[in-house]
Chain A
Amino acid sequence: MSIVVVLLSLAAGAYALAVIERWAVHGHLSLTGPAWAALALLGRESLLARKSDRLFFELGPVLLLVAGLMAVAVIPLAPGLIITDLATGALFLNAALAYVLVALIMAGWGPNGAYAMIAGWRFLGQFIAYAMLIVMPITAVAMRAESLSTVEIVASQEQLWNVLYQPMGFILFVVAAMGLAWLPPLDLPDATGELAGGVEAEYTGVRLAVLRLARMVIILALAGATVTFYLGGWLGPWLPGWAWSAIKILAVAAAMLSVGRYMPRIREARYLALSWKLGISLALANIFVVGVIALVVPI
């Protein structure tokens, strides 16, 4: 039952996100736009590049979608409304999203195009930058909750949301999540101005539709993770839990999608330098501070 509900809300969320993305990228707000675009995309030819690695080319978008769906499986939308409440939920989220990297490398390698290949491997560079900063802030979150279960992590924020309890972790996690979802200004794998679409450049028709859908699911999964770990999940006054989850997740996703409009892209080497020199030091400090607070003031 909750699987159906979660998948339906995922579809609705992906659509809402598509509307927001069109506004952020192309500047027009249209409620029906993505529906027409999706239908049109399905009607177009789905080309296969010559001398492509067919297996990778076909599998890349599918694996991306599967990784996104797996990540969504451990995100609670309301008490009891979660596909599977794993004891290692926070870790499982990471495990699922690690395959985003694999899928992008496959999708970049598959079509036998220089732009796509460079984009795929660039994402590996970006991965080295964000990987530690996804895991380390989650460590501090799990320390407070004394559990890796996402449901318990939300429950642990009853008194005070983690965004206030550990603001440093929140900032680091959001920046890393934007790197993971290749959102601007960290959109190296599909940088239009630099690689003419990068990983997406050789995909057309149905395959492109799957790729775009997978991207939306991943953004939603990461927004969901941000809400679960830092913004108190379903917690909130007046409204029912699922409504709070929906509002928070869409707001976070919209913010992550549109912030890149206002700054230039940053290349992976600089992101890497920032992440490791500054980010990891801050993340370690965050873990230390949270540990001290957890021991001294039990909230």
Chain B
Amino acid sequence: MTVQMIFLAFFGGAAVWFGVVVFRTHSMVRSALALLFSQTAIGAMFLVMQAEFLGVLQIMMMATEMSVMAIFMVMFMMDPGGMGKMDMTHQKRLSLWAGGIGLLAALLLVWLPDWGPVALSVPGAHEQAADLGRELLGRSMFIFQSAGLTILTAMIAATMVAIVPNAEQGK
């Protein structure tokens, strides 16, 4: 139990530290990859908490998502290499308020609701994966399918929005 706690704290600390690095660095690419490693650390926290499937999934998805984000930052941002020592923090007042409210909400969510008794034994990883499959294709199927469809629609719509101005230019 204690070893688990130490690892959990370690990865939690790493996630926060990488999160801070996102804003401390001047380079867009470093910023994007710091965000990636912050998310990877969260994935590792899931692993420590014995949520194997969730952890592995988080680690996998974030690698690709953040890399794609990095290339967009390089393509569309000025000074991606940080040579101009650009400050990554903007709109500090707004950010402070948003961050403070977010923290408060998170703390309230942790303390206020009744989370029930702490689970003392976690089902084995095989069982978890099987249970997750049954859940996804059973009770929660409708939710997940409609979410998937929504995302697909959004993707297609976004692509179309991106293409239209180009087509006009072509005329």
Q: Given the interface contacts A86-B125, A87-B129, does A98 sit within 8 Å of B64 by beta carbon?
A: yes
Asked if A254 is an interface residue, CB under 8 A from chain B, the answer is no
Q: Which of A39-47, A88-96, A241-249, A285-293 contacts B (4 or more CB under 8 A)?
A: A88-96
Q: By the criterion CB–CB under 8 Å, are B57 and A149 in contact?
A: no
Q: Given the interface contacts A88-B52, A101-B67, does A94 sit within 8 Å of B129 by beta carbon?
A: no
Q: How far is the CA of A98 from the CA of B61 in the complex (A)?
A: 8
Give per-residue flags for A104-146: 1 if the beta carbon is below 8 A from chain B beta carbons, else 0.
0110010010000000010010011001000000000000000
Q: Interface size of B by Cβ–Cβ distance < 8 Å?
A: 25
Which of these, A87, A92, A105, A112, contacts B128 with CB under 8 Å?
A: A87
Q: Which residues of A contact B15 (CB under 8 A)?
A: none
Q: How far is the CA of A109 from the CA of B81 in the complex (A)?
A: 9
A-B contact count (CB 8 A): 68
Q: Which residue of A lies closest to B66 (CB)?
A: A102
Q: How far is the CA of A220 from the CA of B52 in the complex (A)?
A: 25
Q: Which of B27-35, B84-92, B143-151 contacts A (4 or more CB under 8 A)?
A: B27-35
**Residues on A facing B (Cβ under 8 Å):** 53, 55-56, 86-88, 91-92, 94-95, 98-99, 101-102, 105-106, 109, 112, 121, 124, 127-128, 131, 147-149
Sampled A-B contacts (16; CB under 8 Å): A56-B30, A87-B124, A87-B125, A88-B52, A92-B56, A95-B56, A95-B63, A101-B63, A101-B67, A102-B33, A105-B33, A105-B71, A106-B33, A109-B29, A124-B71, A131-B64
**Residues on B facing A (Cβ under 8 Å):** 27, 29-30, 33, 36, 52-53, 56-57, 59-60, 63-64, 66-68, 70-71, 74, 81, 124-126, 128-129
